[in-house]
Chain A
Amino acid sequence: MAITNGPLSGIRVIDMSQAHAGPFGSMLLGDLGAEIIKLEPPTGDLIRFGDPNVTTFNYYVLSLNRNKKSIILDITSELGKKAFYDIVKKSDVVYSNFRAGVPKRQGSDYETLKKINPDIIRCNISGYGETGPYEAYPAYDIIACGHSGLLSISGDPETNKAVIPGGIAFADMMGGIFGALSILSALISRDKDKTGVEANVNLLDSLVFMQKVMFQHFFTGGGEPGFQGNRHTILPTYGIFPTKDGNITIAPPTNDNLLIDVMGLGWMLKDSKFDNVVSRVINRPEFTEIFEKKMLEKTTNEWVKIFRDENDIPSGPVLDYDDIASDPQVAHNEMVKEMELKGEKYKTIGSVFKFSDPVKGEAEPAPDLGQHTSEILKNLLGYSDEIIEKIKIESDAAKSKMKSYKEE
């Protein structure tokens, strides 16, 4: 059963996006109740690996494409392109993550689409931007991370090694999110101005923007920030610390005397080398050595109980995925959902959106490639069986000519 009453109920999105950035953004719009029509070329989203069923690496497809309908159209063919434009007439948003220049070549750019539907909102997510010196370069997540400066701060100063930011596809997700945000704002302005909007984003800008505070520090004379590691540049008691059996996070209050006291290091508060925030900053190496050694004496849970539960000091455990699966707050927030695909139950991460007027209905699992082609052509466009059959034949013919991702 689909979601029936989200804030975006009644909004139809044509989602031409593939892989990670676009599909994540359109999934957010689907979580908000929009109808998402995932328009795939005959070989499918490249993350399907040329496989019509979600199989080999189905976790990618499953996790990014819930609440979407899948339609196959070869928009390089005459009938396929006409069907695409016919859907554009009945839609609110066209969303994609093509390399700059591709929308224009294939006739899905804003200039072309607004002639077909003046109210259309067009969002493309590119790597570097739609224009400019690097517009034509290929770009994927990690490349934007490197180009945006993020890899110059994401890493360990001790080994001088950069690591993937957060261990996730951060650039892709931010591109998708800022695309979805731009679309939301364009939907609001369209209700007011009665005109469509072009709302493009790119991975590079998205990551530069996410470093806003760090750049402000740099612009204001702070120098190259360098690898941020696992500690705070100034506060010696902020960060991630090893314990007897794992790691703990601490974000001490402005004055961390309480933290030092409840750790059993009260003597430090009587020693002029460590008795206030300034002296601890000045004598940081010596302080840190004592502080870290003390932290190894108890387990993470023991420390969290003392800090957080008994003294309201912001602190918490470093959980792994097994811990999250059984965490009571994660369960309470309904962030782990069970869904069903072809009779097989599976778990997935739920929607991030929490409303006082809760979204009703259940999310649908990711669609098979082309699962809804006939339904959409028939019910939305009113195409005859004959034309639908022709479109299918055209798609099949195109498929054999297209190089599939798997074989490449």
Chain B
Amino acid sequence: MSITKGPLTGIRVLDLTQAHAGPFGTMLLGDLGAEVIKLEPPPGELLRLGDPKVAISSYYFTGLNRNKKGMVLDLKHELGKQAFLDLVKKSDIVYSNYRAGVPERLGIDFESLSKVNPRIICCDITGYGNTGPYSGYPAFDIIGCGHSGILSLSGDPETGKNLIPGGIAMADMMGGIFGTMSVLSALFKRNRDGKGMKVSANLLDSLLVMQQVMFQNYYLTNNKPGLQGRRHLLTAGYGIYDTKDGVITLASVRHAKAMRALGIGHLLEDDKFKTRTDRIINRDELDKYLEDIFLTKTSDEWIKYLRDENDIPCGPVLNYEDVINDPQIIHNKMIIEMELRGEKYKTIGSIFKLRDKESKICGDPDPPPDLGQHTVEILKNILHYPDDKIKQILKENDDSIPELKKRLMNMDIGDQIDDLKETVMEAAGATK
């Protein structure tokens, strides 16, 4: 059963995105109740392949494409292009994450589409921006990370090693999120003044904004922040600490109280640790005391003593097994069960908790679509195409597969192609 009521109910999104950034952004729109039509070229999105799978869908595709209808159209063919433009007339948003310049080449840029539908909002996500010296370069998540300066913070100063920020595809997701924020603000405005708009996000700018505070410090002090490791640039006694049996997190904002609770209250008499400012200036020295103390008890003992008994902000470092069994995460309904082709699977729930008198978002999300699952339904019910035209489009799609597949996969390794395809796609599918 689909989401039947949400803040974006009645809004139709044509989703041309692939891989991570765009699909994550459009999934947010679907979680808010929009109707998202995922338009794929005939061979389908590359990330449909790969293991492990839920029924026939790779974990990667499953993770990013719930609540979407699947439609196959070949925009390079006349009929496919015409069907797309007919859909634009009946839609609110066109969302893509092509490299800069591609929408213009395909004739699906804002200039062209706003002639078809002046109310349309076009959102594109690129690596570096639509214009500028690097706009033509290819960019994926890790490249956005490297170019934005975040890799110069993300890592361990002791080994000097740069690490993938958070271990996730941060650039991709931030691009999708800021794209979707832009779409929502444009939609709000358009609903009031009737005018469509082009909005853009790119991975580079998205990560720069995420470093707002760090850059401000740099601009005021001229000191490069460097690898941040396990501690906080600003606060003393903040970060990840080793305990007798593992690690805990500590954000001792009410610090004098924390120091007393930790048995180093006498340091508050010392000029070096008297005020917050003193403690920040001398935080390396203070940290040595803290590091020794934390080694004397287990993580659970510290959390019970500090957090539960003394209300000092600290907590455990959980792994995935812990997270899915955590009572607060279960209470927050962040883990939901869905079903795809009769196979039940778990997934992460919606981030949006909106409610008015009753409930703002009703219904359950749908699982990700099979390739082209809704093509006929959309051509028939939204565009009211006659059966013979629909048949022609389906034939066009079939004809396009061999040529497009070759180009998409760019693999010239002869007979091994079928054996390798799965492994390669698996690898591509695991892109963090």
Across the two chains, which residue of chain A brings its CB closest to B333? A205
What class of interface size applies to chain A in its complex with B? 35 or more
User: Do B185 and A240 have beta carbons less than 8 Å apart?
Assistant: no
Contact B430 A217 (CB under 8 A): yes
Give the shortest distance, in Å, between B26 (CB) and chain A (any CB). Answer: 13
Stretch at the interface among A71-79, A317-325, A369-377: A317-325
Given A141-B251, A354-B200, A408-B256, residue A324 in contact with residue B149 (CB < 8 A) = yes
The reply to whether A184 and B185 contact each other, CB–CB distance below 8 Å, is yes
Can you name 17 A-B pairs with beta carbons within 8 Å?
A: A56-B277, A146-B315, A156-B159, A162-B317, A205-B334, A232-B431, A249-B142, A308-B138, A321-B224, A329-B134, A329-B147, A332-B131, A333-B129, A353-B185, A354-B200, A354-B201, A354-B202
Which of the residues A144, A335, A353 comes within 8 Å of B178, measured between beta carbons? Answer: A353
Q: Is the CB of B317 within 8 A of A152?
A: yes
CB-nearest residue of chain A relative to B329?
A208
Interface residue stretch chosen among A35-43, A275-283, A287-295: A275-283
Q: Which A residues between 139 and 155 are near B, CB-CB below 8 angstroms?
A: 139-155
20 new A-B contacts at CB < 8 Å, known A63-B215, A189-B8, A210-B168: A7-B188, A8-B188, A137-B311, A140-B251, A142-B238, A143-B314, A146-B317, A149-B318, A149-B319, A166-B150, A169-B213, A209-B334, A230-B164, A278-B423, A318-B162, A321-B152, A330-B204, A353-B178, A354-B182, A356-B199
Q: Evaluate contact between B167 and A225: CB separation under 8 angstroms.
A: yes
- Shortest C-beta distance, A342 to chain B (Å), equals 14
Judge whether A388 is part of the interface by a CB distance below 8 angstroms: no
Contacts A188-B187, A329-B204, A349-B216 known; A167 to B199 CB distance under 8 Å?
Answer: no
Q: Is the CB of B20 within 8 A of A213?
A: yes
Please pick, from A142, A191, A195, A222, the residue contacting B188 in the complex, using a CB distance under 8 A: A191
Smallest CB separation, A292 vs chain B (Å)? 13
Q: A24 CB to closest chain B CB, in angstroms?
A: 7
> Which chain A residues lie closer than 8 Å to B52 at the CB level?
217, 220-222
Given known A197-B356, A209-B334, contact A60–B163 (CB-CB < 8 A): no
Determine the residue in chain B with the shortest Cβ distance to A404.
Answer: B276
Query: Residue B397 at the A interface, CB < 8 A?
Result: no
| Chain B contacts for A249, CB-based, 8 A | 142-143, 145-147, 151
Main secondary structure of the interface of B (DSSP, over half): mixed
Q: Which of A8, A222, A232 has a CB less than 8 Å from the CB of B185?
A: A8
Check A394 for interface membership: any CB of B closer than 8 A.
Answer: no
Q: Which of A82-90, A250-258, A379-387 contacts B (4 or more CB under 8 A)?
A: A250-258
- Give the interface segment out of A101-109, A126-134, A260-268: A126-134
> In the complex, which of the residues B46, B63, B409, B410 has the most CB atoms of chain A within 10 Å of its own CB atom?
B63
- Given the contacts A137-B307, A151-B249, A167-B150, A254 and B46 also touching, CB distance less than 8 Å: yes
Q: Is the CB of A220 within 8 A of B62?
A: yes
Q: Which residues of A86-142 have CB atoms within 8 Å of chain B's CB atoms?
A: 128-129, 131-135, 137-142
B432 touches A355 (CB 8 A): no
The reply on B234 being an interface residue by CB < 8 A is yes
Q: Is the CB of B432 within 8 A of A232?
A: yes
B163→A156 contact, CB < 8 A? yes
- B35 interface residue (CB < 8 Å to A): no
Q: Shortest distance in angstroms between B232's beta carbon and chain A's nearest beta carbon?
A: 7
Residue pair B240, A151 in contact (C-beta under 8 Å): yes
Q: Does A390 contact B (CB under 8 A)?
A: no
User: With a CB–CB cut-off of 8 A, which chain B residues contact A20?
Assistant: 213
Chain A interface main SS type:
mixed
Q: Is B254 part of the binding interface, using a Cβ–Cβ cutoff of 8 Å? A: yes
A149 touches B146 (CB 8 A): no
Q: Are B220 and A133 in contact (CB under 8 A)?
A: no
Q: Is the CB of B139 within 8 A of A163?
A: no
Which partner residue on chain B sits nearest A314 by CB separation? B138
A406-B331 contact in complex given A149-B322, A206-B351, A234-B426, C-beta closer than 8 Å? no
- Whether B351 lies near A178 (C-beta < 8 A) is yes
Rank and list the top 8 A-B pairs by shortest CB-CB distance, nearest first.
A167-B153, A167-B228, A228-B167, A165-B166, A166-B165, A189-B7, A153-B167, A63-B216
Task: Report chain B residues within 8 Å CB of A219.
Answer: 59, 324, 345-347
Which of B147, B346, B431 meets A317, CB within 8 Å?
B147
User: Mask for B91-118, Cβ within 8 A of A = 1, else 0?
Assistant: 0000000000000000000100000000
Please indicate the chain A residues that have their CB under 8 angstroms from the CB of B220 in the complex: 58-59, 62, 346
- Which residues from chain A contact B276 at a C-beta distance below 8 Å? 49, 405-408
Q: Say yes or no for B225: interface residue by CB 8 A criterion.
A: yes
Q: Which single member of B142, B186, B232 contacts A142 (CB below 8 Å)?
A: B232
CA distance A313 to B139 in the complex (A): 9
Interface-located stretch among B369-377, B386-394, B412-420 = B412-420
- The answer to whether A349 and B275 touch (CB under 8 A), given A59-B216, A163-B154, A357-B197, is no
Say yes or no: A143 contacts B181, CB within 8 Å: no
Task: Tell me if B362 counts as interface (CB < 8 A to partner A).
Answer: no
Contact in complex: B181, A28 (CB < 8 Å):
yes
Is B230 close to A, CB under 8 A? yes
A255 and B320 within 8 A (CB) = no
A240 pairs with B162, CB closer than 8 A: yes
Which chain A residues lie closer than 8 Å to B383 at the CB level? none
Interface pair A64/B430, CB less than 8 Å apart: no
Distance in angstroms from B54 CB to nearest chain A CB is: 6
B138 to chain A, nearest CB (A): 4
Q: Mark B157-174, 1 if CB is under 8 A from A, else 0.
A: 011011111111110010
Residues of A within 8 A of B227 (CB): 163, 167
Contact flags B340-380 to A (C-beta < 8 A → 1, else 0): 00000111100111111100100000000000000000000
Interface string of A190-204 (1 = CB under 8 A from B): 011101111111101
Report chain B residues within 8 Å CB of A24. 212
Chain B residue nearest in CB terms to A324: B149
A215: chain B residues at CB < 8 Å are 63, 320, 323-324, 347-348
Task: Give B248-288 as 1s and 0s: 1 = Cβ < 8 Å from A's Cβ atoms.
Answer: 11110111110000000000000000011100000000000
**Residue interface bits B285-310, CB-to-A below 8 A is 1, else 0:** 00000000000000000000001100
How far apart are the CA atoms of A158 and B137 in the complex, in Å?
32
Chain B residue contacts of A212, Cβ below 8 A: 24, 63-64, 347-348
